[in-house]
Chain A
Amino acid sequence: MCASSVIPGTTLGATRRIRTRSGAATGQLARQRPAQPVAWTEAEAIRLAQAGNAPAFEFLYQLHGRRVYALCLRMVGNPADAEDLMQEAFLQLFRKIGTFRGESAFSTWLHRMTVNVVLMRLRKKSLPTDSLEETLEPDAENSGPKRDVGAPDLRLTGAVDRVNLERSIEKLPPGYRTVFVLHDVQGYEHNEIADIMGCSVGNSKSQLHKARTRLRDLLQEEIRQQAREERKAAKTPTGSLD
Protein backbone atom coordinates (compact mmCIF):
# COMPACT_ATOMS: atom_id res chain seq x y z
CA MET A 1 0.00 0.00 0.00
CA CYS A 2 2.68 2.47 0.84
CA ALA A 3 5.67 3.20 -1.30
CA SER A 4 8.49 2.85 1.15
CA SER A 5 10.75 1.33 -1.48
CA VAL A 6 10.99 4.63 -3.29
CA ILE A 7 11.47 6.73 -0.19
CA PRO A 8 15.15 7.23 0.48
CA GLY A 9 14.94 7.76 4.22
CA THR A 10 13.31 4.44 4.92
CA THR A 11 15.78 2.31 3.08
CA LEU A 12 18.99 3.60 4.57
CA GLY A 13 21.32 0.76 5.20
CA ALA A 14 24.76 0.51 6.64
CA THR A 15 26.26 -0.16 3.25
CA ARG A 16 24.59 2.67 1.39
CA ARG A 17 27.10 5.19 0.09
CA ILE A 18 26.03 8.69 -0.62
CA ARG A 19 28.17 11.37 -2.12
CA THR A 20 27.70 14.94 -1.01
CA ARG A 21 28.02 17.77 -3.44
CA SER A 22 31.18 19.79 -3.55
CA GLY A 23 31.01 23.12 -1.79
CA ALA A 24 31.42 25.56 -4.63
CA ALA A 25 29.97 28.60 -2.99
CA THR A 26 31.23 32.01 -2.09
CA GLY A 27 31.99 33.93 1.03
CA GLN A 28 30.66 32.61 4.28
CA LEU A 29 28.84 29.76 2.64
CA ALA A 30 32.04 28.44 1.16
CA ARG A 31 33.49 28.08 4.61
CA GLN A 32 30.43 26.30 5.90
CA ARG A 33 30.56 23.55 3.33
CA PRO A 34 33.08 20.81 2.96
CA ALA A 35 35.80 21.67 0.49
CA GLN A 36 35.89 18.19 -0.97
CA PRO A 37 33.18 15.65 -1.64
CA VAL A 38 33.09 12.85 0.87
CA ALA A 39 31.76 9.38 0.35
CA TRP A 40 30.80 7.69 3.58
CA THR A 41 28.28 5.17 4.62
CA GLU A 42 25.77 6.43 7.13
CA ALA A 43 27.43 4.27 9.79
CA GLU A 44 30.84 5.81 9.06
CA ALA A 45 29.39 9.30 9.21
CA ILE A 46 27.72 8.53 12.54
CA ARG A 47 30.98 7.22 13.97
CA LEU A 48 32.86 10.31 12.81
CA ALA A 49 30.14 12.64 14.07
CA GLN A 50 30.39 10.96 17.45
CA ALA A 51 34.02 12.08 17.44
CA GLY A 52 32.99 15.64 16.62
CA ASN A 53 33.88 15.61 12.94
CA ALA A 54 32.25 18.64 11.32
CA PRO A 55 31.88 17.26 7.76
CA ALA A 56 30.25 14.16 9.20
CA PHE A 57 27.67 16.29 10.95
CA GLU A 58 26.94 18.04 7.70
CA PHE A 59 26.81 14.75 5.82
CA LEU A 60 24.11 13.46 8.17
CA TYR A 61 22.28 16.76 7.93
CA GLN A 62 22.33 16.66 4.13
CA LEU A 63 21.27 13.03 4.15
CA HIS A 64 18.17 13.47 6.29
CA GLY A 65 17.48 17.20 6.28
CA ARG A 66 15.03 17.23 3.39
CA ARG A 67 12.73 14.65 4.94
CA VAL A 68 12.92 16.16 8.38
CA TYR A 69 12.15 19.60 6.99
CA ALA A 70 9.21 18.25 5.00
CA LEU A 71 7.84 16.60 8.13
CA CYS A 72 8.23 19.77 10.21
CA LEU A 73 6.68 21.86 7.46
CA ARG A 74 3.70 19.56 7.16
CA MET A 75 3.24 19.40 10.90
CA VAL A 76 3.33 23.11 11.70
CA GLY A 77 2.20 24.54 8.39
CA ASN A 78 4.56 27.49 8.16
CA PRO A 79 8.22 27.71 7.09
CA ALA A 80 9.43 29.89 9.96
CA ASP A 81 8.30 27.44 12.63
CA ALA A 82 9.45 24.51 10.52
CA GLU A 83 12.97 25.93 10.27
CA ASP A 84 13.07 26.52 13.98
CA LEU A 85 11.86 23.01 14.76
CA MET A 86 14.20 21.38 12.30
CA GLN A 87 17.16 23.15 13.83
CA GLU A 88 16.03 22.13 17.29
CA ALA A 89 15.59 18.51 16.22
CA PHE A 90 19.05 18.30 14.68
CA LEU A 91 20.58 20.07 17.64
CA GLN A 92 19.10 17.47 19.95
CA LEU A 93 20.24 14.74 17.62
CA PHE A 94 23.83 15.95 17.55
CA ARG A 95 23.87 16.51 21.29
CA LYS A 96 22.84 12.92 21.83
CA ILE A 97 24.62 11.29 18.93
CA GLY A 98 27.25 9.90 21.28
CA THR A 99 24.57 7.70 22.84
CA PHE A 100 23.38 6.23 19.52
CA ARG A 101 24.14 2.51 19.53
CA GLY A 102 22.34 1.47 16.39
CA GLU A 103 19.55 -0.39 18.12
CA SER A 104 17.07 1.23 15.75
CA ALA A 105 17.63 2.79 12.37
CA PHE A 106 19.25 6.20 12.53
CA SER A 107 16.46 7.76 10.48
CA THR A 108 13.88 6.33 12.89
CA TRP A 109 15.82 7.73 15.82
CA LEU A 110 16.00 11.12 14.15
CA HIS A 111 12.32 11.13 13.25
CA ARG A 112 11.39 10.18 16.79
CA MET A 113 13.27 13.19 18.07
CA THR A 114 11.71 15.39 15.42
CA VAL A 115 8.20 14.22 16.23
CA ASN A 116 8.82 14.77 19.93
CA VAL A 117 10.14 18.28 19.31
CA VAL A 118 7.19 19.12 17.08
CA LEU A 119 4.55 17.69 19.41
CA MET A 120 6.14 19.46 22.35
CA ARG A 121 5.92 22.73 20.48
CA LEU A 122 2.32 22.11 19.50
CA ARG A 123 1.44 21.31 23.10
CA LYS A 124 2.97 24.59 24.21
CA LYS A 125 0.97 26.38 21.57
CA SER A 126 -2.10 24.49 22.82
CA LEU A 127 -4.16 24.37 19.71
CA PRO A 128 -7.63 25.72 20.45
CA THR A 129 -9.82 23.09 18.81
CA ASP A 130 -8.33 19.65 19.42
CA SER A 131 -6.44 18.08 22.26
CA LEU A 132 -3.65 15.54 22.02
CA GLU A 133 -5.50 13.14 24.28
CA GLU A 134 -7.93 12.58 21.48
CA THR A 135 -5.20 10.94 19.47
CA LEU A 136 -3.69 8.96 22.28
CA GLU A 137 -6.90 7.37 23.49
CA PRO A 138 -9.06 6.48 20.55
CA ASP A 139 -12.71 6.77 21.33
CA ALA A 140 -14.60 3.79 20.02
CA GLU A 141 -17.90 5.60 19.94
CA ASN A 142 -16.66 8.38 17.73
CA SER A 143 -14.41 6.29 15.58
CA GLY A 144 -16.91 5.61 12.84
CA PRO A 145 -17.23 7.86 9.83
CA LYS A 146 -20.05 10.33 9.71
CA ARG A 147 -22.41 9.22 7.01
CA ASP A 148 -24.56 12.25 6.58
CA VAL A 149 -27.38 11.91 4.16
CA GLY A 150 -26.61 14.09 1.19
CA ALA A 151 -22.94 14.54 2.10
CA PRO A 152 -20.92 15.67 -0.92
CA ASP A 153 -19.11 12.97 -2.81
CA LEU A 154 -15.40 13.77 -2.75
CA ARG A 155 -14.71 11.88 -5.97
CA LEU A 156 -17.36 13.66 -7.98
CA THR A 157 -16.62 17.15 -6.68
CA GLY A 158 -12.87 16.78 -7.14
CA ALA A 159 -12.35 18.23 -3.67
CA VAL A 160 -9.30 16.13 -2.94
CA ASP A 161 -6.86 18.42 -4.62
CA ARG A 162 -3.55 19.36 -3.14
CA VAL A 163 -4.60 22.70 -1.71
CA ASN A 164 -7.68 21.39 0.02
CA LEU A 165 -5.85 18.38 1.32
CA GLU A 166 -3.00 20.47 2.76
CA ARG A 167 -5.46 22.80 4.41
CA SER A 168 -7.34 19.88 5.91
CA ILE A 169 -4.17 18.17 7.12
CA GLU A 170 -3.35 21.32 9.06
CA LYS A 171 -6.69 21.02 10.83
CA LEU A 172 -6.05 17.47 12.00
CA PRO A 173 -5.17 16.91 15.65
CA PRO A 174 -1.36 16.65 15.98
CA GLY A 175 -1.29 12.92 16.67
CA TYR A 176 -3.47 12.06 13.67
CA ARG A 177 -1.49 14.48 11.56
CA THR A 178 1.82 12.87 12.54
CA VAL A 179 0.71 9.36 11.66
CA PHE A 180 -0.96 10.45 8.43
CA VAL A 181 2.07 12.42 7.25
CA LEU A 182 4.51 9.68 8.20
CA HIS A 183 2.48 6.94 6.50
CA ASP A 184 0.61 8.43 3.59
CA VAL A 185 2.95 11.30 2.67
CA GLN A 186 6.39 10.07 3.69
CA GLY A 187 5.78 6.38 3.14
CA TYR A 188 6.78 4.90 6.50
CA GLU A 189 5.46 1.49 7.47
CA HIS A 190 3.37 0.97 10.59
CA ASN A 191 6.18 -0.79 12.47
CA GLU A 192 8.45 2.19 11.82
CA ILE A 193 5.77 4.64 12.87
CA ALA A 194 5.17 2.62 16.02
CA ASP A 195 8.89 2.93 16.76
CA ILE A 196 8.89 6.65 16.06
CA MET A 197 5.73 7.39 18.01
CA GLY A 198 6.38 4.95 20.81
CA CYS A 199 3.10 3.08 20.32
CA SER A 200 1.94 -0.30 19.08
CA VAL A 201 1.52 -1.22 15.43
CA GLY A 202 -2.22 -1.66 16.02
CA ASN A 203 -2.44 1.79 17.49
CA SER A 204 -0.62 3.23 14.48
CA LYS A 205 -3.11 1.55 12.12
CA SER A 206 -6.03 2.76 14.13
CA GLN A 207 -4.71 6.32 14.24
CA LEU A 208 -4.17 6.30 10.51
CA HIS A 209 -7.68 5.13 9.78
CA LYS A 210 -9.14 7.78 12.06
CA ALA A 211 -6.94 10.42 10.48
CA ARG A 212 -8.18 9.52 7.01
CA THR A 213 -11.76 9.46 8.19
CA ARG A 214 -11.37 12.84 9.85
CA LEU A 215 -9.80 14.19 6.68
CA ARG A 216 -12.80 13.04 4.73
CA ASP A 217 -15.06 14.96 7.10
CA LEU A 218 -12.86 18.03 6.85
CA LEU A 219 -12.83 17.88 3.06
CA GLN A 220 -16.59 17.52 2.96
CA GLU A 221 -16.89 20.48 5.26
CA GLU A 222 -14.57 22.36 2.94
CA ILE A 223 -16.92 21.68 0.03
CA ARG A 224 -19.93 22.83 2.00
CA GLN A 225 -18.09 25.99 3.02
CA GLN A 226 -17.13 26.73 -0.58
CA ALA A 227 -20.71 26.17 -1.68
CA ARG A 228 -21.95 28.59 1.00
CA GLU A 229 -19.45 31.21 -0.13
CA GLU A 230 -20.47 30.78 -3.74
CA ARG A 231 -24.12 31.27 -2.84
CA LYS A 232 -23.22 34.32 -0.80
CA ALA A 233 -21.14 35.75 -3.63
CA ALA A 234 -24.00 35.16 -6.05
CA LYS A 235 -26.25 37.33 -3.91
CA THR A 236 -23.71 40.09 -3.22
CA PRO A 237 -23.36 41.79 -6.66
CA THR A 238 -26.92 43.15 -6.75
CA GLY A 239 -26.54 44.60 -3.25
CA SER A 240 -23.16 46.13 -3.94
CA LEU A 241 -24.48 48.16 -6.83
CA ASP A 242 -26.85 50.12 -4.59
Chain B
Amino acid sequence: MHCKELESVLETEGLGQLPKDARLHLATCGACQAFVADLNSIVSAAKSLPAEVAPPDRIWISLRARLEAEGLIKEPVEVSEQPAWWESFRAWLKPRTFASAAGAAVLLAAIVFVTRISQTSHPGIAKNQPVAETPHVAQPSTTASASAASTTPVREPSKGTTASKTKELAPSPSESASFTLSQAELDVPDMQLAGNSQVDLALRQNLRTLNAFIAECELHLKQNPQDELAREYLNTAYQQKADLLAAMMESGRGEN
Protein backbone atom coordinates (compact mmCIF):
# COMPACT_ATOMS: atom_id res chain seq x y z
CA MET B 1 0.00 0.00 0.00
CA HIS B 2 1.16 3.53 -0.77
CA CYS B 3 0.58 6.78 1.08
CA LYS B 4 -2.14 7.81 -1.37
CA GLU B 5 -4.03 4.59 -0.81
CA LEU B 6 -3.84 5.01 2.94
CA GLU B 7 -5.28 8.46 2.45
CA SER B 8 -8.36 7.08 0.72
CA VAL B 9 -8.74 4.40 3.37
CA LEU B 10 -8.72 7.09 6.05
CA GLU B 11 -11.32 9.02 4.09
CA THR B 12 -13.74 6.13 3.91
CA GLU B 13 -12.98 4.32 7.15
CA GLY B 14 -12.03 7.20 9.41
CA LEU B 15 -9.48 6.93 12.17
CA GLY B 16 -10.89 3.79 13.71
CA GLN B 17 -9.79 0.27 13.06
CA LEU B 18 -7.75 0.26 9.83
CA PRO B 19 -7.40 -2.74 7.47
CA LYS B 20 -4.34 -4.93 7.85
CA ASP B 21 -2.49 -3.63 4.79
CA ALA B 22 -3.08 -0.05 5.90
CA ARG B 23 -1.65 -0.86 9.31
CA LEU B 24 1.36 -2.49 7.71
CA HIS B 25 2.03 0.62 5.65
CA LEU B 26 1.55 2.84 8.67
CA ALA B 27 4.10 0.85 10.63
CA THR B 28 6.78 1.58 8.06
CA CYS B 29 5.94 5.12 6.89
CA GLY B 30 6.96 7.98 9.19
CA ALA B 31 5.07 10.64 7.22
CA CYS B 32 1.82 8.73 7.45
CA GLN B 33 2.41 8.04 11.14
CA ALA B 34 2.80 11.77 11.78
CA PHE B 35 -0.25 12.51 9.66
CA VAL B 36 -2.49 10.05 11.51
CA ALA B 37 -1.16 11.19 14.87
CA ASP B 38 -1.95 14.81 14.00
CA LEU B 39 -5.48 13.92 13.00
CA ASN B 40 -5.97 12.03 16.25
CA SER B 41 -4.73 15.06 18.19
CA ILE B 42 -7.24 17.25 16.38
CA VAL B 43 -10.10 14.86 17.11
CA SER B 44 -9.13 14.69 20.79
CA ALA B 45 -8.93 18.46 21.04
CA ALA B 46 -12.31 18.85 19.30
CA LYS B 47 -13.92 16.57 21.87
CA SER B 48 -12.80 18.94 24.59
CA LEU B 49 -14.77 21.80 23.03
CA PRO B 50 -18.22 22.31 24.59
CA ALA B 51 -21.02 20.64 22.64
CA GLU B 52 -23.60 22.72 24.48
CA VAL B 53 -23.53 26.39 25.37
CA ALA B 54 -26.26 28.11 27.37
CA PRO B 55 -27.84 30.82 25.26
CA PRO B 56 -28.69 34.18 26.87
CA ASP B 57 -32.22 34.52 28.24
CA ARG B 58 -32.93 37.43 25.95
CA ILE B 59 -33.10 35.10 22.95
CA TRP B 60 -36.14 33.31 24.29
CA ILE B 61 -37.78 36.56 25.39
CA SER B 62 -37.31 38.03 21.95
CA LEU B 63 -38.33 34.80 20.23
CA ARG B 64 -41.45 34.50 22.31
CA ALA B 65 -42.42 38.06 21.48
CA ARG B 66 -42.07 37.29 17.79
CA LEU B 67 -44.07 34.07 18.13
CA GLU B 68 -46.82 35.98 19.90
CA ALA B 69 -46.73 38.74 17.30
CA GLU B 70 -47.15 36.16 14.54
CA GLY B 71 -49.96 34.46 16.42
CA LEU B 72 -48.10 31.15 16.64
CA ILE B 73 -48.40 31.03 20.41
CA LYS B 74 -51.90 30.72 21.72
CA GLU B 75 -53.10 30.48 25.28
CA PRO B 76 -51.91 27.34 27.05
CA VAL B 77 -54.29 24.47 26.49
CA GLU B 78 -55.49 22.31 29.33
CA VAL B 79 -53.38 19.31 30.11
CA SER B 80 -55.36 16.16 29.49
CA GLU B 81 -54.61 14.69 32.88
CA GLN B 82 -57.08 15.76 35.55
CA PRO B 83 -55.30 17.18 38.59
CA ALA B 84 -56.03 15.58 41.90
CA TRP B 85 -58.27 17.46 44.36
CA TRP B 86 -55.33 18.25 46.62
CA GLU B 87 -53.51 19.75 43.64
CA SER B 88 -56.48 22.04 43.08
CA PHE B 89 -56.45 22.98 46.74
CA ARG B 90 -52.73 23.70 46.62
CA ALA B 91 -53.22 25.77 43.50
CA TRP B 92 -55.90 27.76 45.30
CA LEU B 93 -53.48 28.44 48.13
CA LYS B 94 -50.86 29.76 45.74
CA PRO B 95 -49.92 33.31 46.71
CA ARG B 96 -51.21 34.97 43.57
CA THR B 97 -54.54 33.18 43.62
CA PHE B 98 -54.89 33.74 47.30
CA ALA B 99 -54.00 37.42 46.96
CA SER B 100 -56.54 37.89 44.18
CA ALA B 101 -59.26 36.14 46.14
CA ALA B 102 -58.45 38.09 49.28
CA GLY B 103 -58.40 41.35 47.35
CA ALA B 104 -61.77 40.62 45.82
CA ALA B 105 -63.21 39.71 49.22
CA VAL B 106 -61.91 42.91 50.81
CA LEU B 107 -63.31 44.97 47.96
CA LEU B 108 -66.70 43.28 48.20
CA ALA B 109 -66.84 43.73 51.97
CA ALA B 110 -65.94 47.40 51.64
CA ILE B 111 -68.65 48.00 49.05
CA VAL B 112 -71.28 46.30 51.21
CA PHE B 113 -70.15 48.20 54.26
CA VAL B 114 -70.19 51.60 52.56
CA THR B 115 -73.52 50.87 50.91
CA ARG B 116 -75.06 50.21 54.29
CA ILE B 117 -73.60 53.43 55.66
CA SER B 118 -74.95 55.47 52.80
CA GLN B 119 -78.38 53.88 53.13
CA THR B 120 -78.59 54.82 56.79
CA SER B 121 -77.54 58.39 56.05
CA HIS B 122 -80.35 58.66 53.43
CA PRO B 123 -83.53 57.50 55.19
CA GLY B 124 -85.69 58.64 52.30
CA ILE B 125 -84.12 56.05 50.12
CA ALA B 126 -83.98 53.25 52.64
CA LYS B 127 -86.89 53.95 54.98
CA ASN B 128 -87.34 50.46 56.30
CA GLN B 129 -83.69 49.75 56.94
CA PRO B 130 -82.55 49.59 60.57
CA VAL B 131 -80.46 52.53 61.65
CA ALA B 132 -76.81 51.61 61.72
CA GLU B 133 -74.49 52.48 64.49
CA THR B 134 -72.06 55.32 64.09
CA PRO B 135 -69.78 54.34 61.24
CA HIS B 136 -66.14 53.83 61.90
CA VAL B 137 -63.90 56.73 61.22
CA ALA B 138 -61.91 56.14 58.13
CA GLN B 139 -58.28 55.19 58.52
CA PRO B 140 -55.89 58.11 58.05
CA SER B 141 -54.22 56.36 55.19
CA THR B 142 -57.48 55.95 53.32
CA THR B 143 -58.98 59.35 54.05
CA ALA B 144 -56.88 61.21 51.57
CA SER B 145 -57.26 58.65 48.89
CA ALA B 146 -61.00 58.41 49.39
CA SER B 147 -61.34 61.74 47.70
CA ALA B 148 -59.01 60.54 45.00
CA ALA B 149 -61.25 57.56 44.52
CA SER B 150 -64.12 59.83 43.50
CA THR B 151 -62.54 60.16 40.08
CA THR B 152 -61.79 56.49 39.76
CA PRO B 153 -64.27 54.68 37.55
CA VAL B 154 -66.09 51.94 39.43
CA ARG B 155 -66.97 48.76 37.59
CA GLU B 156 -70.46 48.57 39.15
CA PRO B 157 -73.07 50.41 37.08
CA SER B 158 -74.13 53.57 38.96
CA LYS B 159 -77.71 53.51 40.14
CA GLY B 160 -79.03 56.66 41.77
CA THR B 161 -77.72 58.34 44.83
CA THR B 162 -76.66 55.25 46.68
CA ALA B 163 -74.40 54.14 43.94
CA SER B 164 -72.84 57.54 43.57
CA LYS B 165 -72.29 57.70 47.30
CA THR B 166 -70.71 54.30 47.14
CA LYS B 167 -68.46 55.60 44.46
CA GLU B 168 -67.33 58.37 46.77
CA LEU B 169 -66.70 56.33 49.86
CA ALA B 170 -65.66 52.88 48.68
CA PRO B 171 -61.96 52.12 48.77
CA SER B 172 -60.45 52.10 45.32
CA PRO B 173 -59.16 48.83 43.86
CA SER B 174 -55.69 50.26 44.38
CA GLU B 175 -56.27 50.59 48.09
CA SER B 176 -57.61 47.07 48.33
CA ALA B 177 -54.65 45.79 46.40
CA SER B 178 -52.33 47.75 48.66
CA PHE B 179 -53.93 46.25 51.73
CA THR B 180 -53.81 42.73 50.39
CA LEU B 181 -50.24 43.05 49.23
CA SER B 182 -49.19 44.44 52.58
CA GLN B 183 -50.72 41.41 54.26
CA ALA B 184 -48.96 39.09 51.85
CA GLU B 185 -45.68 40.92 52.32
CA LEU B 186 -45.90 40.48 56.07
CA ASP B 187 -45.96 36.74 55.57
CA VAL B 188 -43.05 36.64 53.20
CA PRO B 189 -39.94 37.54 55.23
CA ASP B 190 -40.31 35.00 58.01
CA MET B 191 -41.73 32.25 55.94
CA GLN B 192 -39.92 32.31 52.67
CA LEU B 193 -37.00 34.65 52.42
CA ALA B 194 -34.62 33.14 54.87
CA GLY B 195 -32.12 32.30 52.16
CA ASN B 196 -29.17 34.45 51.21
CA SER B 197 -28.71 33.25 47.69
CA GLN B 198 -28.15 35.69 44.85
CA VAL B 199 -31.72 35.17 43.73
CA ASP B 200 -33.11 35.98 47.18
CA LEU B 201 -30.97 39.07 47.46
CA ALA B 202 -32.11 40.25 44.04
CA LEU B 203 -35.74 39.58 44.92
CA ARG B 204 -35.43 41.53 48.15
CA GLN B 205 -33.73 44.39 46.38
CA ASN B 206 -36.50 44.45 43.76
CA LEU B 207 -39.11 44.49 46.50
CA ARG B 208 -37.43 47.44 48.21
CA THR B 209 -37.30 49.34 44.94
CA LEU B 210 -40.94 48.60 44.23
CA ASN B 211 -42.02 49.63 47.72
CA ALA B 212 -40.20 52.92 47.36
CA PHE B 213 -41.86 53.51 44.01
CA ILE B 214 -45.30 52.64 45.39
CA ALA B 215 -44.83 54.99 48.34
CA GLU B 216 -43.82 57.73 45.97
CA CYS B 217 -46.85 57.13 43.78
CA GLU B 218 -49.21 57.09 46.75
CA LEU B 219 -47.77 60.32 48.08
CA HIS B 220 -48.07 61.92 44.69
CA LEU B 221 -51.68 60.78 44.37
CA LYS B 222 -52.56 62.23 47.75
CA GLN B 223 -51.27 65.55 46.57
CA ASN B 224 -52.62 65.22 43.02
CA PRO B 225 -55.63 62.95 43.11
CA GLN B 226 -56.56 63.83 39.53
CA ASP B 227 -53.31 62.46 38.11
CA GLU B 228 -54.47 59.45 36.11
CA LEU B 229 -50.99 58.62 34.90
CA ALA B 230 -49.73 58.29 38.46
CA ARG B 231 -52.71 56.08 39.26
CA GLU B 232 -51.90 53.90 36.30
CA TYR B 233 -48.29 53.63 37.44
CA LEU B 234 -49.46 52.71 40.89
CA ASN B 235 -51.74 49.96 39.64
CA THR B 236 -48.94 48.56 37.50
CA ALA B 237 -46.61 48.67 40.48
CA TYR B 238 -49.15 46.77 42.59
CA GLN B 239 -49.38 44.12 39.91
CA GLN B 240 -45.61 43.85 39.75
CA LYS B 241 -45.43 43.61 43.50
CA ALA B 242 -48.00 40.82 43.48
CA ASP B 243 -45.93 38.98 40.89
CA LEU B 244 -42.77 39.58 42.86
CA LEU B 245 -44.26 38.35 46.10
CA ALA B 246 -45.58 35.30 44.31
CA ALA B 247 -42.11 34.65 42.91
CA MET B 248 -40.56 35.10 46.35
CA MET B 249 -42.96 32.71 47.99
CA GLU B 250 -42.51 30.26 45.16
CA SER B 251 -38.74 30.52 45.52
CA GLY B 252 -38.93 30.07 49.25
CA ARG B 253 -41.20 27.09 48.89
CA GLY B 254 -38.69 25.51 46.56
CA GLU B 255 -35.93 25.96 49.10
CA ASN B 256 -37.83 25.09 52.25
- Which residues from B are CB-within-8-Å of A22? 250, 254
Give the number of chain A interface residues (Cβ < 8 Å): 68
- For residue B247, CB closer than 8 A to chain A, the reply is yes
From known contacts A26-B202, A27-B244, A73-B53, infer whether A206 and B11 are also in contact, taking CB-CB under 8 Å.
yes
B74 touches A61 (CB 8 A): no
Chain A residues with CB under 8 A of B240: 27
Q: Which of B60-68, B165-173, B213-221 lies on the face that meets chain A? A: B60-68
By a CB distance below 8 angstroms, the chain A residues around B76 are 53-55
Is A57 interfacial (CB 8 A cutoff)? yes
Do the beta carbons of B73 and A57 come within 8 Å of each other?
yes
- Distance from A163 Cβ to chain B, minimum over Cβ atoms (Å): 10
Given contacts A26-B206, A66-B53, A155-B41, contact A143 B59 (CB under 8 A): no
Distance A30 CA – B199 CA, assembled complex (angstroms) = 12
Q: Would A162 and B45 count as touching, CB distance under 8 A?
A: yes
Q: Are A205 and B199 interface neighbours, CB within 8 A?
A: no
Contact between B14 and A205 (Cβ–Cβ < 8 Å)? yes
Q: How far is the CA of A54 from the CA of B34 in the complex (A)?
A: 54
> Does B47 lie within 8 Å of A3, measured CB to CB?
yes
Is B77's CB within 8 Å of the partner chain A? yes
* Contact, CB under 8 Å: B34 / A153: yes
Say whether A198 faces chain B, with CB atoms less than 8 Å apart. no
B185 at the interface (CB under 8 A from A): no
Q: Which residues 130-172 of B have a CB within 8 angstroms of A?
A: none
Report chain B residues within 8 Å CB of A61: 60, 63
**Contacting residue for B70 out of A7, A54, A70, A95, CB 8 A:** A95
Per the bound structure, the CA–CA distance linking A154 and B75 in Å amounts to 57
CB contacts (< 8 Å) of B56 on chain A: these are 79, 83
Are A212 and B61 neighbours in the complex by a CB distance under 8 Å?
no
B243 pairs with A27, CB closer than 8 A: yes
Q: In terms of DSSP, what is the predominant structure of the interface of chain A?
A: helix
Whether B43 is near chain A, meaning CB under 8 Å from some CB there, is yes
A112 within 8 A of B: no
Contact B51 A54 (CB under 8 A): no
Which chain A residues lie closer than 8 Å to B67 at the CB level?
Answer: 54, 57, 91, 94
A24 with B12: in contact, given A7-B51, A54-B64, A54-B76 (CB under 8 Å)?
A: no
Q: Determine how close the nearest CB of chain A comes to the CB of B42; give it in whole angstroms.
A: 5
Contact of A91 among B16, B49, B66 (CB under 8 A): B66
Complex contact B63–A30 (CB within 8 A): no
- Contacts of B55 on A, CB cut-off 8 Å? 65-66, 68-69, 83, 86
Contact B37–A155 (Cβ < 8 Å)? yes
What chain A residues lie within 8 Å of B63 (beta carbons)? 61, 87, 90-91
Is B41 in contact with A154, judged by CB distance below 8 angstroms?
yes
> Would you call B60 and A160 a contact (CB within 8 A)?
no
A83 to B74, CA, bound (A): 24
A212 in contact with B35 given A53-B77, A54-B76, A66-B55 (CB within 8 Å): no
B226 at the A interface (CB under 8 A): no
Q: A203 to chain B: closest CB distance in Å? A: 11
CB closest chain-B residue, reference A215: B42
Verify if A222 is at the interface (C-beta below 8 Å from B).
no
**Smallest CB-CB separation from B250: which chain A residue?**
A24
* Nearest-CB residue, chain A, relative to B15: A1
A32 and B61 form a contact (CB under 8 A)? yes
Q: Which of A15-59 contact B (CB under 8 A)?
A: 22, 24-32, 35, 48, 51-55, 57-58
Hey, which chain B residues are within 8 Å of A212, CB to CB? Answer: 39, 42-43
Q: Can you give 29 contacting A-B residue pairs, CB < 8 Å?
A: A24-B250, A24-B254, A25-B247, A26-B203, A26-B244, A29-B57, A52-B75, A53-B73, A57-B73, A58-B64, A67-B52, A69-B54, A70-B51, A73-B53, A79-B56, A87-B59, A91-B67, A143-B7, A153-B34, A162-B45, A162-B48, A165-B42, A184-B47, A185-B49, A202-B12, A208-B14, A210-B11, A219-B38, A219-B42
The interface of chain B, by Cβ under 8 A from chain A, is 3-4, 7, 10-12, 14-16, 31, 34-35, 37-39, 41-64, 66-67, 70, 72-77, 199, 202-203, 206, 240, 243-244, 246-247, 250-251, 254
- Interchain residue pairs A-B with the least CB separation, the first 5: A52-B74, A184-B46, A66-B52, A69-B55, A70-B53
